[in-house]
Chains A and B, each alone.
Chain A
């Protein structure tokens, strides 16, 4: 039953793409929707209260608005974490967060990463969970999506401006994230996810011992956690925790929530561009990369662990270490693949306990960082690779390369180069520093190849703004909090700035008419070349690290 349930899940996700894409396109374009009578008033009220003028912005204004808004939110949230013991709604008497952890957590959530060096049930008060964490889950998702909207407008190139950041964030929140989050929350509550402000319950277990049962406003956080591809759990156990993900239905719902907006955005891009074939080509490239990772992860886990088999533990179910029995290998492998593809980072199984190759597929998807991806940013990354591919292909057909009718010239290539360099740079350099400093080495819980994987995974997850972790890493130390914080920051903003600069420079160019001398970017050939470029660049960049980490671990494990 493994593959039918995996394929059924992906099938349902596919069915949602077109209708959701159409709706997203309307929201981004500002066209009419049936919710306008109500939502226009709400938006109008928000604009009025916050003094938003709704003027069109060029790319610099857009980026500045984005950065300043993010900065202000980060500072506010940092203060909430630091002062949570003084604030209301703290029935469990949680103490103030330590500065480096607060720094890490604030950056982690503003960047949509949701790397958690704390456990929610012991580290955050309810006000932090709601006002800081859940709030940023909405705004960081909306920020990424707004950046993607601006990016698409530039790509379409109808005007020289990229839209208004504040309007985008408002509309995306009130028209997409809010309504969807409310629906998903209600379903989660129905399935048994807690949504309460009551304090933790202390109960006597069957063994006669006392146990604390943590509670809180969980469902509202978990819904946006997946819809916004945030991934930070209410509890340390994330979506493996029975209160966050109690049933197969909630598991299905969470996987679909992760996939819904990143996949639909690609279709929305096609609608805005008025070229659906182009969008499906990009979509197919992403889907193909996902289709390579998913079976790899599944079969790696299904093979089990030979060491455990040797010590007499049956591995017929596969590698069940760190997995929930209610999900099994199929649902765990699917969740892992989707959460690292969509840069969500929530987990329903322990990634540290994945087989070396299973962990490698998760790591790989974050390294390439283009498979659907988190809110908007994964799409932008894929388009970045598309432009690079166009550059190489364009030369190969003997014309100055053009993408969607716009010539790709020195300035764009320079910016694309910056965007492409950031990801491997921050991952490799930070890993190197961690391995060269005692403070970094102190965090590694499994020395050897797996320890190396832990370090690389941590920074890859941070750079890709994914947020999942090889949780064996003892990362709540000043070194790991600060280093990961900086990596998340660079991974998020540098590429957004560079890519918005790219499209703004494309937007002002005159479109070159398509002729038979222009090669098409909307067919299987281009899709294949695009995938090859992504894989080759990814493989060339990370192969040594992968070889010494997961591959060496796998080879020595199976010798």
Chain B
């Protein structure tokens, strides 16, 4: 999908992540993740008790060793969480490294007041400076072309190697710092402050340096912190309760229970999920200015789409052959094909495609050598002169009619009706004639991009309304809208009117997404809750938007919406899983804590775990192992299919809710079976 070299999780990333997971143990860093910070404190306490097991007058066999094992598992738990985050960051960092390489210190040609340029270091270029770039130069910073026309290689940013044309004025006037001029020259007014160029912002975004918690992430952290606080109180209160009931619980066991209960699974994976979500967006070659923007995508209710360029190709393509008079469809298709074989315009190629689709075949070699008549503004027709002298033409209705009449032919009675019908539907009629005979009409129409109908169906399945904006007349607009399957359309819509469409939807409480490229789209992009600007678009549009698509493909917004949803679903599902896990952990640890003093408590040891110590350690090990086990899901995101919210909820509840209750029962039992013999060897059984 991306034109960037696909960077999977390679060994280098893993090695770096492994090192980073130790660096991230720094409490000053870890405190940002309250759940894991609690685990780290637990680790410090149990580590102390490993060397001074008698600090709390605890009796028991091998207390020091037991405390030691608990502390090691706690350390590993924190490391696993750090590792998850580091792996998620790894890919972005790698990408940032490759971007940084393009930010080499270059020279720039800076104009002074007299119109002379001097060569300066490009890092000294300020906003509103005017510079000259020529073939082979690197554009020093983001700016706007004020003079000249040139081709620019933007592969450093977009990964697209074909150079793009830039010229002053219009929608192709913006240039990005770090890209390279491949031909001709440009005079550019710099629009970015040094250090805040698009490239630099992009580096810091993919690196994750400016990552801020998104609103839902903040709410979720709130829930996780409250749960942690509840369990802290539960554990603190348990100690005197147990003491009163005659049970002395070792401190390490209390800490083990606490760590098992607090939501370490989601706490450990939360930031990894967020980073990986952003990374998925980046790999689509979309730069999101913030995680908030990606998250907002999941909430979008309405999507405003341009017709031309987004829904249709904008070129008119052959859609139908309509014979007139007594001519057959096959003959019409055949002559249309013959007239178009050497026609390299999109229209011409589409006629060939349509004819081929309808199974019409001619010996192409025979006609390749035939004389081709180019389309001109005067004749308004094109065609082929066959070796046998026949002249095949296709062209505008009145031009062909005139030609045929001049040659003494007659105009079939139904021709005008057909032409009128096509025009009314917003299409373009192309009349086909051979010598003085009119064979029929090729219906050229604005063609919907393939796969869009399916995509709109997906959007409808998840409750997103699509609105098409077009400058066409209502009749044409209605036709395209119906064919593409968009829910609503606004005809005769000027770009400036889009903002009104957005405001109208927002007034009903809806979240609106839109794509745009031109300067006159900027206000609408800013007004929309999610604005996706095209990289080919103007600086104004890019600045107003909260996402920029480097491939300049407006339909990308659909993918970003799905990524946004998937991001939230992953967080929600893993939270549910994490909380549901606690049920089984209780059934492992509570009987283990009390059976020594209250043997009857073994009745709730429903997993039949071998010994109290083995039970506690098994629960704790399960709690640690589940984090790396879920890293793939955190990175990839929970499987997402477009369907009604109801069904998504039922499905995820079944997998992560019910599964979350059941899985640990099996997991803990298996770990218990595995470690019990080892504990026996250590004389702890």
Contacts and interface: CB of A to CB of B under 8 A. Distances in A.
A539 B645 CA distance: 28
Nearest to B563: A398
A545 B241 contact: yes
B579 interface: yes
Contacts of A432: 236-237, 239-241
B617 to A, nearest CB: 19
A195 B135 CA distance: 105
A71 to B, nearest CB: 28
Nearest to A444: B244
B261 interface: yes
A424 B576 CA distance: 21
Contacts of A555: 598, 600-601, 603
Interface stretch (A220-228, A232-240, A447-455): A447-455
Interface stretch (B143-151, B222-230, B364-372, B551-559): B222-230
Nearest to B261: A540
Contact of A395 (B233, B238, B572, B598): B572
B233 A424 contact: yes
Q: Is the interface of B mostly helix, strand, loop or mixed?
A: helix
A70 interface: no
A410 B603 contact: no
B220 interface: yes
A523 B645 CA distance: 13
Interface stretch (B174-182, B197-205, B391-399, B650-658): B650-658
Which of A397, A417, A536 has most chain B Cβ within 10 Å? A397
A402 to B, nearest CB: 9
Given A414-B222, A544-B590, A396 B236 contact: no
Nearest to B239: A432
Given A417-B223, A517-B463, A556 B600 contact: yes
Interface residues of A, number: 63
B439 interface: no
A32 interface: no
Interface stretch (B2-10, B293-301, B676-684): B293-301
A395 B657 CA distance: 13
A420 B229 CA distance: 11
A441 B222 CA distance: 36
Contact of A516 (B215, B295, B463): B463
Contacts of A425: 230, 233
Contacts of B575: 392, 395
A429 interface: yes
Contacts of B598: 552, 555-556
B205 to A, nearest CB: 22
A429 to B, nearest CB: 6
A407 B262 CA distance: 27
Interface in B632-685: 640, 644-646, 648-650, 652-653, 656-657
Contact of B645 (A399, A420, A540, A551): A399
A70 to B, nearest CB: 27
B60 interface: no
A430 to B, nearest CB: 9
Given A392-B575, A519-B646, A525-B646, A547 B594 contact: yes
A393 interface: yes
A420 to B, nearest CB: 6
Contacts of A209: none
B286 interface: no
Interface in A476-520: 510-513, 515-520
- Which 7 A-B residue pairings sit nearest by Cβ, starting from the closest? A395-B572, A517-B463, A398-B565, A515-B463, A555-B600, A396-B572, A428-B237
Interface of A: 388, 391-400, 405, 408-410, 413-414, 417, 420-421, 424-425, 428-429, 431-432, 435-436, 441, 448-449, 451-452, 510-513, 515-520, 523, 525, 529, 532, 536, 539-545, 547-549, 551-552, 555-556, 559
5 contacts: A396-B656, A398-B566, A398-B569, A512-B301, A520-B645
Interface of B: 215-216, 218-220, 222-223, 225-226, 229-231, 233-234, 236-245, 247, 261, 295, 298-299, 301, 460-465, 508-511, 564-569, 571-573, 575-576, 579-580, 582-583, 586, 590, 594, 598, 600-601, 603-604, 640, 644-646, 648-650, 652-653, 656-657
